[in-house]
Amino acid sequence: MAEPHAPRSAEELATSIGALVNAVFVDLDRLALLVQAAHREAGGGPLAEADLAALGDEIVTTLPGRQHYIGLGYAAAPGVMLGQPRFMLWWHRRGDQVGRLRLNLDPSNVDVYDYQTMDWFRLARDDGRRVAYGPYVDYSGADEVTITLSLPVVADGVFLGVLGADLDYAEVENRWIAVLRGSSRDGVLVNSERRVVTTNSTRWVVSQRLAALPAAGAGPFTDVAAVPDGTGWVVALANSVPLTP
């Protein structure tokens, strides 16, 4: 284990940060198998909510054991659920209490929660990839600062929807700051939208949007590495700015 403030490369830091992110995607991949199995057992036709009983059971079993999770669930693509153009099987945790998240999904209502336009859903659907979106304040769900990790669910070439995990930003930020503090240099974790996720330095601010995605040799950055999780996040290091006497 590295000594505090020992020099560490951006690649080493990115690998450590990616370990937590990849563990979340392991959970989502497992849930995806249950959605795919339900689709195939239904012969590729529309699903009834009862067809997703195994998925619901797995979500309820998984969520309490992940202290950095505040939500976990499935958002269906149009046409997947019988008689329900929009459908979410999503659970959330407050303290030790876990409950089904029930949102207004009626598009005719002014306060509809149109998850199909949300970036965590839209990017996973349109780009067919893992997504890490945030940090943002989830006013429609947990009412907390959140990072949502999501991935598309596809079976036999059919897009079935998106699985996602809402992470408690305060909890994961503490872990990621601890990793960045393993370097003697100023470090910053940046998402694919060029926004600062967290940093060990006062020269950047969380949610600040950088002019460009960090690259080694560009601006102050001397060492840059992609977080190995498929989300497009990067860790960037810069030489520390000496304090003015």
Listed residue (158, 23, 99, 64) closest to 89, CA to CA: 99
The 10s digit of each residue's pLDDT in 139-190 is 665 568 999 999 999 999 999 999 999 999 999 999 999 999 999 999 999 9
Cα–Cα distance list, 90 to 73, 118, 129, 226 (Å): 4, 15, 20, 30
Q: What is the pLDDT of residue 59?
A: 97
The domain spans of the chain are 17-170
Q: Residue 123 has which token pair?
A: 């990017």
The CATH code belonging to domain 17-170 is: 3.30.450.20
Lowest mean pLDDT among 44-58, 138-152, 173-187, 216-230: 138-152
Residue 116 DSSP symbol: G
pTM of the model: 0.90
The 10s digit of each residue's pLDDT in 60-78 is 999 998 989 999 999 999 9
Strands 234-238 and 145-155: unpaired
Q: Residue 89 has which token pair?
A: 């099987």
DSSP string, 21-89: HHHHHHHHHHHHHHHHHHHHHTTTSPBPGGGGHHHHHHHHHHGGG-TTEEEEEEEEPTTSBTTBSS-EE
CB 230 within 8 A of CB 237: no
Average pLDDT, integer, range 193-205: 95
Cα–Cα distance list, 54 to 50, 81, 101 (Å): 9, 16, 17
Q: Greatest CA span in the chain, whole angstroms?
A: 72
Residues of 134-152 as b/e, b for ≥16 C-beta within 10 angstroms? bbbebeebbebbbbbbbbb
Average pLDDT, integer, range 197-212: 95
CB 187 within 8 A of CB 204: no
- Which contiguous run of DSSP H or E holds residue 136? strand 131-137
3-state secondary structure of 12: helix
Average pLDDT, the chain: 91
